[in-house]
Amino acid sequence: MLENIVRLPAFEVVGFTTRTNNALEMSGQGRIGPLWHKFMETAEKTLADVIDHSLTFSIYTNYESDQTGAYDVILGKPASNLNSVPEGLRGIAIPAADYLVFPADSPTPEAIQAAWMAVYEYFAGRTNPRRAFTADFERYSADGIHLYIAV
């Protein structure tokens, strides 16, 4: 993979959240699938006050350690501010940071999983660049699906 490090400005997202880990997700008892189901059923109504309905983010943050530990997932939309986050939702401010970008072939769970496998393979044993484990995210837009991995 050609290294494509991009610097993104800070942004804010409001959405639904859960805490999970990769072992749980691979066990068939994962929490991300049900989070997507809830998002697809209720996002239009509960996330009416967002700045861009054409974008969706699945943010991975608050890492316990690395890809083997627990982490939070926030599935949501970009917000203009976090001053009035609806009850039951979570707002998160993503600071400006550098990211390596990995494309996904389609929005299917299998394609997203394959893109994450490419991330794990890319960083296996690599010391430069190194994952920051601050906030990584999948960005869904008209331009396709891309994984942004903080470095």
Say what the pLDDT of residue 79 is. Answer: 92
Return the pLDDT at 3: 64
pLDDT in tens, the chain (151 residues): 456 799 999 999 999 999 999 999 999 899 999 999 999 999 888 887 777 889 999 999 999 999 999 999 999 999 988 998 988 999 999 999 999 999 999 989 899 999 999 999 999 988 889 999 999 999 999 999 999 999 9
Distance between CA atoms of residues 89 and 76, nearest Å: 9
Domains of the chain plus CATH, in order, are 5-150 (3.20.80.10)
Which of 147, 112, 109 shows the shortest CA–CA distance to 6? 147
Residue 144's nearest CA partner among 111, 96, 97 is 111
pLDDT digits (tens, 9 = 90+) for 121-143: 999 988 889 999 999 999 999 99
Distances (CA, A) of 136 to 49, 60, 95: 24, 5, 11
pTM above 0.85, yes or no: yes
The radius of gyration of the chain from alpha carbons, rounded to an integer in Å, stands at 15
What is the separation of C-alpha 7 from the centre of its chain, rounded to a whole number of angstroms? Answer: 16
Residue 46: the pLDDT is: 86
For residues 46 and 48, give the distance between their C-alpha atoms in angstroms, rounded to a whole number.
6
